[in-house]
Amino acid sequence: MVSRWWAFPLFLLAFFGLAGAILLAFAAVVVYPTLPSLEALTDYQPKIPLRIYSADGKLIGEFGEERRALVRIGDVPKPMIDAILAAEDERFYQHNGVDYMGVMRAALSNFVSGGVRQGASTITMQVARNFFLTKEKTLTRKFNEMLLAFKIEH
């Protein structure tokens, strides 16, 4: 008779995987309807500094907490977009707001290291966190971040 040493670990993996999937689905059904509206994204009014000009149109000074100039995405050079995607979210065009491979990679890395060494936030998840959530580092916030990212992309 062939040894089936792998049967029990495989059963445990399947059991916990299914239990985890059911738990996540239940939480998503309960939490998803309570997520904030995405209107804040379309109504976004960034803080732009007060700019003082002379009579001949020369900039005299800027006042305010943040110094920024709004740029339309169409005006951003492709190499800049490519650099941001390479640094922040390599699979930006291959996922729907959540990079599940990145989440698994980060979870494994963090488990092996015994602490938080890697994040798994996509650009969409970062937008969700910065617009709607707090900076606290909890699994609940990360789960809400993932649901919001999914909501933003769909």
Residues 45-69: tens digit of each pLDDT = 777 778 888 889 999 888 877 777 7
Q: Does 12 reside within a domain? A: no
Average pLDDT for the chain: 86
Judged against a pLDDT cut of 70, whether residue 2 lies above it is answered with: no
Mean pLDDT within 122-139 = 89
Judged against a pLDDT cut of 70, whether residue 105 lies above it is answered with: yes
Rg (CA), the chain: 22
User: In the beta sheet, which residues pair with residue 100?
Assistant: none
Mean pLDDT within 126-133 = 91
Q: Does 25 reside within a domain? A: no
Q: Does 120 reside within a domain? A: yes
Q: Does 10 reside within a domain? A: no
Give the domain extent around 99. 37-153
The predicted-structure confidence for 64-86, as pLDDT tens digits, reads as follows 777 777 889 999 999 999 999 99
Res 25: pLDDT:
87
107 CB contacts (<8 Å, ≥6 apart)? 120
Q: Does 43 reside within a domain? A: yes
Res 39: pLDDT:
82
Q: Does 7 reside within a domain? A: no
Hey, which bits of 25-146 come out as E strands? 50-53, 59-63
Q: Does 123 reside within a domain? A: yes
Res 3: pLDDT:
67
Task: Supply the CATH number for residue 146's domain.
Answer: 1.10.3810.10
54 CB contacts (<8 Å, ≥6 apart)? 60
Residue 98's nearest CA partner among 43, 151, 39 is 151
Mean pLDDT within 3-10 = 79
Q: How many domains does the chain have?
A: 1
Return phi, psi of residue 52, to 5°: -105, 125
Q: Does 24 reside within a domain? A: no
